[in-house]
Amino acid sequence: MKKIYSIVLLQCCTLAVYAQKIDSTSMLQSRLFVTDSAAYTFYNFAKNKSFFTATMPDGFNTLSIGHQLTKGRFMPYQESSKTNDTQFATEGKTTLSGVALWGSLAYHKIKEDSTRWAHQTRNNPTAPMYFGSGRNVNYERAIYQFNAMAQRNMMGNNLPLALGIDYRIGDHFSTNDPRAKLGDYQFNMQASLGYRLSKGLTLGLGARYGYGEEGTDVAYKNKQNENNTTQMDYITHIINGYGDPIPIEINRVFRNEQSRKGMDAYLTYESPRFGTLAWSGTYLQETQNFINRFPDKKNGQFYNDYDLTTYHFELVWKKKLDTYQLLLLANYDNLDGQDFSYAVMANNYLYNREQWGIKAVLSKAGKTSFNYVIELKKDGEERQDGLRGNLVAYNAIKPGLGFGFSKQLPGNQSFGVNVKGIFSKNIDDQFIVPVISQGTFTKTVIYHDYLYNTADYFSGSFQADYNFPSYKQIQTGIKLGLTYNEAIQFKRLDRELLAHPGNQRFSMSLSLNFYF
């Protein structure tokens, strides 16, 4: 099996290298392309949808090395209060012998401080089951992500055939007791076939298939901490559902086997007068099986089965308006999850997350280019635990405004600034948690996250970049980013709280970028 994965990785890397064939005449265009918010938003829409590979601009190749620091207590309880993320990423697009190729490679080295009640990969946040403990632990994570897509138009450009793969590997471990070691991999494939009905209209259908696995193993370096009844924060628990967990004293090892399949539908329409319209819809069904590595009478061989159903729709329209370019984007996402708990031989946990958004981007090219953004988003989530009678939900509306400019300087240099502001307003929520159910986990994680998710807050971001030609005229850029979130108002909760969200969260990033 490992040999197969190695071959897949080699193929991904090879395709990514081909997709990033350097063309010296496109270096400046690649950098200018990023400053055009309308064009770059359309590019991001096409990313990871193999049906749209040919619509992505040839000769756009980037490489980025950066670091991001995030800290503050205005966050979900199980997040890290301080995170350092060192990143490397590269991607590119080209066309060889009539085949459109796109590839990307990304690596993250992450260090987390003060993570509690969450021995998780953070790649599967809706999961009904995981291990956790009340003690602060520090995590280190290494994540590798490979993506590749190819598309060829056949039969007189009337039959576009596309393929895509992505592969993720994650290695995670905590550096103090309780010491968890987690590993994950995900492999996904997509294929699509389209037909051009008229000069500007093309329809397509696609299929998706994927599988993966997450493994968790919790142990102790200092054996005195393993069953430390005087310091209960050391005790490892099974969180199974959305309520207070139970301690697990031995055999703290399980794996989560995953499989998924689904289908896609696509539409594109383009004309000089109308502009470019693209739509995609995805239905995905995923099954997760939580398997006990050491079956016993108490827990048996299986902990949980978990089914996830995803609906994802996106619509984008782009049109040239004299010296301006207008882009409108709309999206809708719905994720439904339900488990089958072998402990009670019934469905216990229900999850739903619904999100939608609309965005308008207006870009003006020139010696000084300008970008204007207005958006409106809605975010909602609901978790239910039948055994404990818990139901916690929220809905928030998030309007936002953004503005940016990029000024061309002599010698192919440039300087740019982007600012954006978002206001999040809680519009609806539910809180049903019986008092009899309130143990330590409830008083910390559940109460804390209810207050966090229903808080009204402001988020502001600032980004500045300076670009200049370097070795062989490769465009090089230095980018600084700042983000600040501040809670304006929390709901009142008449319960005994062991933790309350902080008021602020801050993030700073610095990166070195190459466009070639």
**What is the maximum alpha-carbon separation in the chain?**
75
- Report the distance separating Cα 339 and Cα 471, nearest Å: 55
**Residue 143: per-residue pLDDT:** 98
- Report the distance separating Cα 418 and Cα 36, nearest Å: 12
257: phi then psi, degrees, rounded to nearest 5: -90, 130
260-313 confidence digits (pLDDT tens)? 999 999 999 999 999 999 999 999 999 999 999 888 776 778 999 999 999 999
**C-alpha distances in angstroms, 134 versus 78, 118, 238, 487?**
10, 9, 12, 25
**Residue 35: per-residue pLDDT:** 61
68-106 confidence digits (pLDDT tens)? 999 999 999 999 999 999 999 999 999 999 999 999 999
32-74 confidence digits (pLDDT tens)? 666 667 888 999 999 989 999 999 998 889 999 999 999 999 9
**Residue 294: per-residue pLDDT:** 84
**Per-residue exposure over 86-97, b if at least 16 CB sit within 10 Å of its own CB, e if not:** ebebbbbbbbee
pTM above the 0.85 mark? yes
313-369 confidence digits (pLDDT tens)? 999 999 999 889 999 999 999 999 999 999 899 999 999 999 999 999 999 988 999
**C-alpha distances in angstroms, 189 versus 89, 389, 434?**
21, 39, 44
Give 3-state DSSP helix, strand, coil % of the chain, rounded to 5.
15, 60, 25
**Per-residue exposure over 464-500, b if at least 16 CB sit within 10 Å of its own CB, e if not:** ebebbeeeeebbbbebebebebbbeebeeeeeeebee
pLDDT at 13 exceeding the cut of 80 = no
Structural contact between residues 50 and 192, judged by C-beta atoms closer than 8 angstroms: yes
pLDDT at 23 exceeding the cut of 80 = no
- Report the distance separating Cα 302 and Cα 342, nearest Å: 7
Please give the structure tokens belonging to residue 306.
Answer: 């978990």
**C-alpha distances in angstroms, 172 versus 117, 119, 235, 290?**
15, 9, 20, 18
431-479 confidence digits (pLDDT tens)? 999 998 789 999 999 999 999 999 999 999 999 999 999 887 788 999 9
Residue labelled with tokens 């102790």: 220
- Report the distance separating Cα 70 and Cα 60, nearest Å: 30
Please give the structure tokens belonging to residue 488.
Answer: 């304006």
Handedness of CA 297, 300, 301, 303 (dihedral sign): negative
**Residue 31: per-residue pLDDT:** 57
Residue 494's contacts (CB-CB under 8 Å, 6 or more residues apart) are none
Ramachandran sector of residue 275 (left: φ over 0; alpha: ψ -120 to 50; beta: rest): left
CB neighbourhood size of 198 (10 A): 8
Residue labelled with tokens 């970049």: 465
Mean pLDDT of all residues in the chain? 91
**Residue 24: per-residue pLDDT:** 45
If DSSP codes are grouped into helix, strand and coil, which group holds residue 470?
A: coil
Residue labelled with tokens 């039959």: 159
**C-alpha distances in angstroms, 170 versus 179, 185, 385?**
17, 6, 29
DSSP 8-state symbol, 313: E
- Report the distance separating Cα 64 and Cα 68, nearest Å: 13
DSSP 8-state symbol, 304: E
